Amino acid sequence: MAVNAASMLNRLLQYKTHKPQNQPNSLKSVTQSILTHLKSGRLQKAVSILFAYPEPFPHSLYARLFHLCSANDAIVEARKLESHLVTFCPLPPVFLLNRAIETYGKCGCLVDARELFDEMPERDGGSWNTMITAYARNGFQEKALCLFSEMNREGIFPNEITFASVLGSCGAVLELVLSRQIHAMVVKYGYSNNVVLGSSLVDVYGKCGVISDARRIFDQIENPNDVSWNVIVRRYLEIGDGKEAVSMFFRMFREDFTPLNFTFSNALVACSSMSALKEGMQIHGVVFKMNFERDKVVSSSLIGMYVKCGILESARMIFDQLGSKDLISWTAIMSGYAMSGRTREARELFNMMPERNVISWNAMLAGYTHLFQWEDALKFVFLMRRMTKEIDHVTLVLILNVCAGISDVEMGKQVHGFIYRHGFCSNIFVGNALLDMYGKCGTLNSARVWFYQMSQERDTVSWNALLTSYARHHRSEQAMTFFNEMQWESRPCKFTFGTLLAACANMFALNHGKQIHGFMVRNGYELDMVIRGALVDMYCKCRCVLYALTIFKEAASRDVVLWNTMIFGCCHNGRGREVLELVGLMEEEGVKPDHVTFQGILLACICEHEAELGKQYFNSMSNDYCIIPRLEHYECMIELYSQCGCMEELEKFIKSLPFEPTVAMLTRVFDACEKHGAVRFGEWAAEQHNQLNPSTLLRFELKDRRKMGR
């Protein structure tokens, strides 16, 4: 191996410094020797030399050694160092003992830290601060806060460092009341202009969900820095106000601050959450301008933004241009394909990944489950079990979705056993997925038993899952009973009402439907478009079209789905005229009809025997609205001509279909021919039918014979 100049120099230095070890050494030369070892990164050796000398060393050397122990997580060396310090320094200065506490804290040895703290003959404010920080950094925020109270009880004055550390702990345990008290102390002690404390207050108020206070404090910071901006953007993102997060990001940029990579990431994630492509692209521009495109965090966030905004090609371009692709960027792009329904390409990427972790496995599995590709999902689960030991709560939720999707309750029970054995029972997501699985598999008793076992953990989602299971399996009465129980424990949400109203609609349970409607009105729930749709559907199915029309007309705005619900409701009640009127109003309101609307219109024409009008609408669909007629529209036209006895039109229509007529269509035509005595056309229909479906030939022959015998 080549010996370079530096290593040669080090050897010479070592030789020089080690040489006097056999003689009485001056402290200076030993110190020099220690420093030489430190320069070469030999901390252990440096401390062992120190320990061989029963003399106090300069304070600066101890300080430096403690610092290095912290940086290298060297707990053994730190203990030796403290031992040397307290043994050979007659009066170790408090600041050095504080450094020892800090080192123990950074190495995660809180017992050592606290022991030293308790045994110190004398403490200063720094000792308290260091011990509080040691607790806070190791996840013992409650202990940090207790020590802060003790500090106050002992009459030690906290300073800005104490407050910053304690506010951090308050944020971690969401201690809003204490945060407000500390805020008051910050003002009282005259630290209002401290930017660190200002940012900490923004942070803690944001984490505790009082974003208005967070924003007020932010606006009061005289000179916010990059951290302050980062905090406010992040807090807006976390409370789900992506719009304000992005707006603050742009304000920061306008005020000439350079955002941190995390701030870019937060702003991009905010764009993803809102599918705000335009803003996302603007941020991409800033990323490029400020040379952040090679930053791992930023580039992965950009990939995520384009994926969530549906521009997979741009995401792919960024991924392809990355100099070094890491696990996260691979997972981001692979997941992008998976969640866009392109599972085949996602799987190709998955197979190419240089490394994978539980998140990448889950992302691929999620792609299959979201697309209801249960066979692929199942195969993938088995592969996953063979290839990796990593399984987390997300994996379990996805596997339970697969069990539900293929209605395999036996496999679901095995997963339940795994969950029980591996301590996932108290995870609310897993618990709710398990409940959903039992419900979807129709094992309602198991669902109910598990629901009661969830007891403390269950939430509104659990109640909704239980209600949905019963409602879906035609146990509307029981669902209503659960709804009554639910109100003692959890506030129903719009999903609850949606489920219950759909159950009532399917059971034609008008009284229950009215009760739910009344409950919502009495309790001030907003009747949004989705809920109005559910109410319209329920009332129509229960034959109360006038109620449905009232609810429909009172809607502040109506989308095409709501219009379609009303139109179909009228069709089911035989009110074709009203449908045709509604269609006119819909157009006046500027809502464009879709293929469902046209199906409703054609059904209405059937109700009203309006063959000519139906034909006009059918033609208008593709000519004026660019909607390609689907099978159901052709079926409607055949039904319309058949019912109206327009045999010539029917013959022309069926013979010009852009596809082979189906068995059902030919049967309908044959029946119409029989009814209207169209023998030649009927024979043609029979022949076509028999060629397609020889298994029911006999029935046709019988019909034919019956007709010939007349």
The site for DNA (CB under 7 A) is made up of 63, 67, 95, 98-99, 102, 125-126, 129-130, 133, 136-137, 159-161, 163-165, 167-168, 171, 194-200, 203, 225-228, 230-231, 234, 260, 262, 265-266, 269, 272, 296-298, 300-301, 304, 327-328, 331-332, 335, 339, 357-360, 362-363, 366, 392, 394-395
What is 164-191 written as a DSSP string? HHHHHHHHHHT-HHHHHHHHHHHHHTT-
Beta carbon nearer to DNA, 427 or 564 = 427
CB of 315 vs DNA, minimal distance in Å: 11
Amino acid in position 252: M
**Inter-residue contact 343 to 377 (CB < 8 Å):** no
57 or 163: CB nearest DNA: 163
CA pair distance 132, 709, nearest whole angstrom: 102
User: Shortest gap between Cβ of 363 and DNA (angstroms)?
Assistant: 4
- Decide whether 116 or 197 has the Cβ nearer to DNA: 197
Cα separation of 278 and 309, whole Å?
10
Of 105 and 533, nearer to DNA (C-beta) is 105
HEC-encoded secondary structure of 616-653: HHHHHHHHHHCCCCCHHHHHHHHHHHHHHCCHHHHHHH
Nearer to DNA, 386 or 710 (CB): 386
* Residue placing its CB nearer to DNA in the complex, 86 or 161: 161
Query: What minimum distance in Å lies between the beta carbon of 205 and DNA?
Result: 12
Least distance from DNA to the Cβ atom of residue 235, Å: 8
State the Cα angle at 621 between 615 and 624, rounded to 5°: 115
DSSP classification of residue 354: S
Q: Which is nearer to DNA, 98 or 468 (CB)?
A: 98
Question: What's the half-sphere exposure (Cβ side, CA atoms, 13 Å) at 490?
Answer: 20
Q: How far is the CB of 158 from DNA (least distance, A)?
A: 10
- Tell the smallest beta-carbon distance from residue 228 to DNA (Å): 5
Q: For residues 393 and 472, which CB has a smaller minimum distance to DNA in the complex?
A: 393
**Nearer of residues 42 and 67 to DNA, judged by Cβ:** 67
CB 126, min distance to DNA, A: 3
Cβ closer to DNA: 143 or 512? 143
Residue 654 one-letter amino acid: I
| Closer residue to DNA, CB minimum distance, 63 or 529 | 63
Q: Which of residues 265 and 599 has its CB atom nearest to DNA in the complex?
A: 265
Whether residue 245 contacts residue 274, with contact meaning beta carbons closer than 8 Å, is answered with no
User: What is the C-alpha separation between 95 and 93, in angstroms, rounded?
Assistant: 5
Min dist. Cβ of residue 98 to DNA (A): 6
In degrees and rounded to multiples of 5, residue 565 shows phi and psi of: -60, -45
Nearest approach in angstroms of CB 106 to DNA is 8
Please classify residue 334 by burial: count the beta carbons closer than 10 Å to its beta carbon, then call 0-12 exposed, 13-18 middle and 19+ buried. buried
Distance in Å, CB of 666 to DNA, minimum:
46
Q: Closest approach of Cβ 305 to DNA, in Å?
A: 8
Q: What is the DSSP letter of 493?
A: -
Closest CA to 268 of 294, 289, 239, 297: 297
Residue 62 to residues 118, 373, 445: CA-CA distances in angstroms? 21, 64, 68
User: CB 450 → DNA: shortest distance, Å?
Assistant: 22
Q: In angstroms, give the least distance from the CB of 33 to DNA.
A: 22
Residue 231 vs 535, nearer CB to DNA: 231
Nearest to 302 by CA among 321, 322, 276, 284: 284
If 0-12 CB within 10 Å is exposed, 13-18 middle and 19+ buried, where does residue 78 land? Answer: buried
Closest CB 102 distance from DNA, rounded Å: 6
Nearest distance from C-beta of residue 242 to DNA, angstroms:
13
Q: How far is the CB of 364 from DNA (least distance, A)?
A: 9
> Residue holding tokens 């009303």?
566
- Quote the crossing angle between the two packed helices 110-119 and 94-106, to the nearest 10°: 160
Q: State whether residue 448 is helix, strand or coil.
A: helix
Reduced DSSP (H G I as helix, E B as strand, rest coil) percent helix, strand, coil of the chain, to 5: 75, 0, 25
- Toward DNA, which CB reaches closer, 280 or 533? 280
Residue that is written with structure tokens 């290298």 in the block: 72
**Radius of gyration of the chain measured on its C-alpha atoms:** 37
Q: How crowded is residue 55: how many other Cβ atoms within 10 Å of its Cβ?
A: 11
User: In whole angstroms, how close is the CB of 375 to DNA at the nearest point?
Assistant: 20
Closer Cβ to DNA, 199 or 565, answer by number: 199
In one-letter notation, the amino acid at residue 160 is E
Within 13 Å and on the Cβ side, how many CA atoms surround 243? 0
Return the sign of the alpha-carbon dihedral for residues 269, 275, 278, 281. Answer: positive
Nearer to DNA among residue 399 and residue 435 (C-beta): 399
488-497, long-range: CB within 8 Å, 24+ apart, which pairs? Answer: 489/458, 489/463, 490/458, 490/459, 490/460, 490/463, 491/460, 492/460, 492/463, 493/460, 493/464, 494/525, 494/528, 494/530, 494/531, 495/464, 496/460, 496/463, 496/464, 496/467, 497/525, 497/531, 497/534
Q: Which is nearer to DNA, 265 or 690 (CB)?
A: 265
